[in-house]
DNA sequence: AGGGGCATGTAAAGAGTTACATGATTCT
DNA sequence: AGAATCATGTAACTCTTTACATGCCCCT
């Protein structure tokens, strides 16, 4: 079972949802650090159901097919807990922009500055979004509460955007130093 | 052409190398934020060569096949520059650990603390490695120098690890607050 | 009448990982 | 004699993206 499967279990552990509802959440990211399309989600749900980690009840829905609401089973909860405590690895290499910066010496100063400024602006915008979400969520709840976990992932996003912005500033400072 | 292709061009823009040398570098990450296996690299090099962005000279090597040294062409350099200045997107969602934290409320305190501590230790170790590399590299060179770009990607790594560690500390502080 | 949202699926293609395969030279 | 390093490739599989496909209901 992949990260996607566990992201879905993590959502269903909070409340039952349909595949459509799950995909609406996941297209715009769960936990600010994972996304998926509906075309990936429907097969993943079928696999989870076959494995007995979720169950579904079908209602008469619009369109040619039934609407299915998925619920996590006790086995699903156990599998999710087991996945959580597996030994961690670091992962999360893969950042296209850093690969670009690796070849930044090929550009002249103006182009380089422009590139980094553009990138900084994207992260600044994202940070602003996250800050407004934070002001809605308020201070973190008790660690046993799903709200706490939600708030913690937001904090990861906030911290990440800030790191990105200050790295861009580090770069810009040096790119703009004496011609 | 994908990020991998441009990572390879970025390496070959510095100096000619064989596929084997490129894969040795890329298995352990270019720019601290991208990695690839040799099985991906060889086909990618063939595609770059067909596209005229790199050229190769074959020498009589060990084993059943020739040893090929790849050199970037003028067209390859141009393609790389064009890729650098393309409008940026943000990308870099996909962080497995944050997806785990999204379900952290399912664990009891001791397990949760253990998980985060373990993760923090990995990032602290990585930070220590990066710091020792920094002390070897010294202060950044001129932005027109490949050494500057190398140093800039290291700075991204340093900044990223620090952000990760302080996020873990934020989490641990709250997980350890009153039982 | 047409557009958007609800709702579910499949197919094809690209990107990445893991495993298979070969064989020479050098070190222990 | 065996292991490690040099050196290059292919095959099978998983994960992700993009596109195709259907059809009801509600709002304007």
Query: DSSP per residue over chain B, as a string?
Result: --HHHHHHHHHHTT--EEHHHHHHHHHT-BTTTB---HHHHHHHHHHHHHTTSEEEEEE--SSSS-EEEEEE-HHHHHHHHHHHTSPP-------HHHHHHTTGGGS-HHHHHHHHHHHHHHHHHHHHHHHHHHHHH-S---TTSHHHHHHHHHHHHHHHHHHHHHHHHHHHHHHHS--
pLDDT at B61: 66
A53 Cα to chain B: minimum distance (Å): 16
| Interatomic CA distance for residues B176 and A152, integer angstroms | 14
Q: Which tokens is B80 given? A: 């790389």
User: Is it the case that residue A72 has pLDDT exceeding 90?
Assistant: yes
List chain C nucleotides near protein: any atom < 7 Å from a Cβ. 5-12, 14-20, 22-25
Of the residues A86, A105, A146, the best mutation for testing chain B's interface (the one with the most B CB atoms within 10 Å of its CB) is: A105
Write out chain A residues lying below 8 Å of B167, CB-based: 155-156, 159-160
Mean of pLDDT over chain A: 93
Instruction: Judge whether A84 and A78 are in contact, CB under 8 Å.
Output: no
Cβ of B45 < 7 Å from strand D?
yes
Cβ of A57 < 7 Å from strand D?
no
Instruction: Judge whether B89 and B74 are in contact, CB under 8 Å.
Output: no
Cβ of A148 < 7 Å from strand C?
no
Q: What percent of chain B has pLDDT over 70?
A: 96
Contacting residues for A161 by C-beta, under 8 A, at least 6 apart: A123, A124, A126, A127, A130
Distance A66 CA to D22 C1' (A): 13
Q: Which tokens is B88 given? A: 């940026």
Average pLDDT over residues A7-19: 97
Cβ of A91 < 7 Å from strand C?
no
Whether A104 and B84 lie within 8 Å, measured CB to CB = yes
| Interatomic CA distance for residues B42 and B30, integer angstroms | 16
User: Is it the case that residue A178 has pLDDT exceeding 70?
Assistant: no
User: Is it the case that residue A90 has pLDDT exceeding 90?
Assistant: no
- C-alpha A156, offset from chain centre: 10
Cβ of B68 < 7 Å from strand D?
yes
Distance B26 CA to C8 C1' (A): 41
Tell me: the pLDDT tens digits for B141-163? 899 999 999 999 999 999 999 99
Tell me: the pLDDT tens digits for A108-154? 999 999 999 999 999 999 999 999 999 998 887 899 999 999 999 99
Predicted TM-score of the model (pTM): 0.93
pLDDT at B178: 61
Residues in chain A: 179
Nearest residue, CB atoms, A3 vs list B10, B99, B123? B99
Whether A33 and B94 lie within 8 Å, measured CB to CB = yes
Name the CA radius of gyration of chain B, rounded.
Answer: 21
Whether B98 and A32 lie within 8 Å, measured CB to CB = yes
- The residue among A33, A145, A25, A134 whose CA lies nearest residue B99 is A33
Beta strands per DSSP E along chain A: 17-18, 54-59, 67-72
Tell me: the pLDDT tens digits for A23-57? 999 988 888 999 999 999 999 999 999 999 999 99
Whether B107 and A94 lie within 8 Å, measured CB to CB = no
Cβ of A64 < 7 Å from strand D?
yes
Q: How confident is the model at residue A179 (pLDDT cuts 50, 70, 90)?
A: low
pLDDT at A110: 96
pLDDT at A74: 98
B118: Cα within 13 Å, side-chain hemisphere: 14
| Interatomic CA distance for residues B162 and B169, integer angstroms | 11
Mean pLDDT, 10 residues at a time, chain B of 179 residues: 97 96 91 94 97 91 78 97 93 90 97 97 96 90 94 97 98 86
Residue of B nearest to A174 (CA): B143
Q: Which tokens is B31 given? A: 């720019």
Query: Exposure pattern of B56-65 as b/e (b: 16+ CB <10 Å)?
Result: beeeeeeeee
pLDDT at A63: 64
């Amino acid at each position: 079972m992949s990260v996607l499967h566990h992201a879905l279990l993590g959502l269903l552990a909070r409340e039952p949802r349909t595949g459509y509802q799950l995909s609406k959440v996941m297209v715009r990211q769960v936990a600010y650090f994972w996304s998926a399309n509906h075309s990936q989600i429907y097969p993943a749900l079928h696999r989870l159901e076959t494995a007995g980690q979720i169950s579904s009840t079908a209602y008469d829905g619009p369109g040619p097919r039934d609407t299915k609401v998925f619920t996590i089973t006790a086995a699903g909860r156990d599998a999710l807990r087991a996945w959580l405590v597996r030994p961690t690895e670091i992962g999360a290499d893969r950042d296209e922009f850093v690969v670009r910066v690796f070849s930044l010496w090929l550009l002249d100063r103006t182009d380089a500055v422009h590139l980094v400024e553009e990138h900084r602006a994207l992260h600044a915008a994202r940070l602003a979004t996250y800050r407004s979400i934070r002001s809605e969520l308020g201070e973190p709840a008790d660690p046993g509460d799903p709200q706490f976990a939600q708030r913690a992932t937001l904090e990861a996003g906030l911290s990440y955007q800030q790191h990105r912005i200050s790295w861009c500033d580090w770069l810009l400072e040096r790119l703009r130093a004496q011609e």
